[in-house]
Structure 1
Amino acid sequence: MRVIGVIDLAAGRAVHARGGRRTDYAPVRLSGAAAAHVGDPCALARTYLETRGLTELYVADLDAIGGGPSQDAAIGALIRLGAPLWLDSGVHSVPRARHALGLGASFVVVGLETLPSYDVLSEICADVGSERVAFSLDLRDGLPITAHADVAAGRSVEQIAARAVEAGVGAIIVIDVARVGMGEGVDLALISSLRSVAPAVLLAGGGVRGSEDLASLAHAGCDGVLVATALHDGRIGAAEVAAAARPG
């Protein structure tokens, strides 16, 4: 199973996401890191890649997701580190998807939170290629987060995922923002139920506590997991990442 390091960007800084309360997010402070590196996105990425054994990054551009401009300079610096990068930057149209990939992202993430319609999701998949599009199933306390009520109205979480698969996405990411940074673990029952409707790649995140959670998620059918806090404080390090990657 893949372990992917998460970097949440706000105003060019790496911030520590906790419980989905974005106005309360503070710059990331790694144990033992120099003061100059507090909130430094590239310093955080290098920690992931050089000391935690990761090979992929996930970046959430919180400014763009909130309707502001894309943080192109910070994202570009992260992409230049050379690791494959999944980018969630509030994509809601084909031009925005092209922009994300044009920055050098390996995969564009289209979040339920900002998706206007499944027709738009189909257009994005057709334009840039399904294999480069992931759908983020954004939840809060198990309930869908969306700015466009019609996208989720009357649909269960599993039905929303199935509709995204019909639109052509190559991966589904399920993340409950209320669990992010809270150490509560991921909803394993939900992951198991989504496995039957998800495409080849199913990723999950929010509340991952350590190696036992990695093993449980793999058993539930996850192909990869998004992690931040447990990487920051060292509960998941290079040994745990290597163990998760081993088959069986």
Structure 2
Amino acid sequence: MGSKFQLIPVLDVLEGRAVHAIGGDRARYRPLRSILHAGHGPRELARAFRDVLGFATVYLADLDAITQRRGEPSLYRDLVDLGLDIWVDAGIEDRDDLAPLLDVERLQVIAGLESLRGPDALADVLDRAGPDRLIVSLDLRDGRPITAAPDAWPERAALALAHRILDMGVRRLILLDLAHVGRGAGPGTDHLLGPLLQAHPRVEFTVGGGISGVDEAAAWRDRGAAAVLVGSALHDGRIDRNALIAMDGGL
């Protein structure tokens, strides 16, 4: 893959506030409490990621865009103005949703399977955004794919669906099981990364959901992941600046 391993902090934003995501049950998400910042403003928390922990990239899940089609492009620009690179999941359904994202420099577009309208929509999004700027999220719940258009994808198993996506020309893939998010018990996608790397060695794989500490993040790096997404472990102090510094290649 050639690029440096990244540990990327996550911001889940709902109704303009950073929230604590647990298990993918968005109706139960509550405003985030973080040792990094007293409030739950996403801009202030992103600044803390930068200033306190030294991060240069932030993953933003815009839950208003994902669930209600009400994104906040001004937030994306504000985070970029902080000097951050951002990965944004804004509930992309098809290529018509791309314009406000592609207009923001230093923004990487995440297309989640729970939002995409099917393989034809993915092909159009890939053509418009390009493989270097598009990251597809293989959205799962308890190992089963979550898709906006189940009938459009004949593949029912996660591994088969991942192969289908990568065979379309996608070169960056997130493995994310929402049932594991915020629980600190691991991502639950151990069985996917090895076979996918073997079949697609040039693809950059990111693993997210339930990372409990730097040792677990380092283990995923050693297995071949290009990046790991981390949320709760940063906000409750299980991963701090010293731990990140001690982790060889952690930033």
User: Among 219, 223, 226, which residue is 2:226 paired with?
Assistant: 223
Q: Deviations over 1:60-108 (max 9, x none)?
A: 1111111321122322222221211111101111121232121335210
2:236 aligns with 233
Distance in 2 (alpha carbons) for counterparts of 1:85 and 1:93:
20
Deviation at 1:229, TM superposition (A): 0.4
What do you get for the CA RMSD once the two structures are aligned?
Answer: 1.8
2:42 aligns with 41
2:67 aligns with 66
2:195 aligns with 193
**1:185 is aligned with what amino acid?**
G
Distance in 1 (alpha carbons) for counterparts of 2:32 and 2:146:
25
2:105 aligns with 104
1:30 aligns with 2:34: yes
Question: Which runs of 4 or more aligned residues in structure 1 lie more than 4 Å from their structure 2 counterparts after TM superposition?
Answer: none
Unaligned residue ranges in structure 1 (runs of 5+):
none
Q: Deviations over 1:171-213 (max 9, x none)?
A: 0001111111011112223322332344421001000000121
Q: Is the 8 A contact 1:87 1:105 kept in 2?
A: no
How many aligned residue pairs are there? 244
**1:189 is aligned with what amino acid?**
H
Distance in 1 (alpha carbons) for counterparts of 2:12 and 2:105:
18
Distance in 2 (alpha carbons) for counterparts of 1:191 and 1:161:
10
- Counting only pairs closer than 5 Å after superposition, residues 113-192 of structure 1 correspond to structure 2 as 113-187=114-188, 188-192=190-194
User: Among 6, 11, 14, which residue is 2:10 paired with?
Assistant: 6
Deviation at 1:170, TM superposition (A): 2.5
2:205 aligns to what SS in structure 1? strand
Judging changes above 3 Å, is the alpha-carbon distance between structure 1 residues 32 and 13 closer, same or farther for their aligned structure 2 residues? Answer: closer
Deviation at 1:131, TM superposition (A): 0.5
Q: In percent, how many aligned pairs have the same letter?
A: 36
Q: Is the 8 A contact 2:37 2:44 kept in 1?
A: no
User: Among 199, 205, 209, which residue is 1:206 paired with?
Assistant: 209
Q: Is the 8 A contact 1:98 1:128 kept in 2?
A: no
Unaligned residue ranges in structure 2 (runs of 5+):
none
Deviation at 1:162, TM superposition (A): 1.5
Range with bigger deviation, 126-135 or 160-169: 160-169
